[in-house]
Amino acid sequence: MPIYEYKCNNCDNNFEMLVLGGDKPACPSCKSLDLSRLISKCGFVSKSTDSSGQSTVTASPASACSGCAATSCSSCTSS
């Protein structure tokens, strides 16, 4: 599901929203449509098998933001 992170240019609210198809997101605080989409950090796990047949797992590090309750670092100053 496409969950995007936005910053409202009207009230400076940062929020995440599920956006499907041609939906036009609006700020949940002030209902403004004047939004900027933010680039979010994401985590992933990559599983592969090397030439010897050994299975390997590579994971991206977790968010470096220790002060963000939502684990989203768009407004965090510690990243």
In a domain, 47, yes or no: yes
Task: Give residue-wise pLDDT tens across range 10-54.
Answer: 999 999 999 998 889 999 999 999 999 998 766 666 777 777 777
- Residue-range definition of the domain harbouring residue 46: 3-58
In a domain, 75, yes or no: no
* 1 to 16, 17, 20, 47: CA distances (angstroms): 12, 10, 8, 22
In a domain, 32, yes or no: yes
In a domain, 64, yes or no: no
Read off the pTM. 0.52
The predicted structure's pLDDT at residue 63: 46
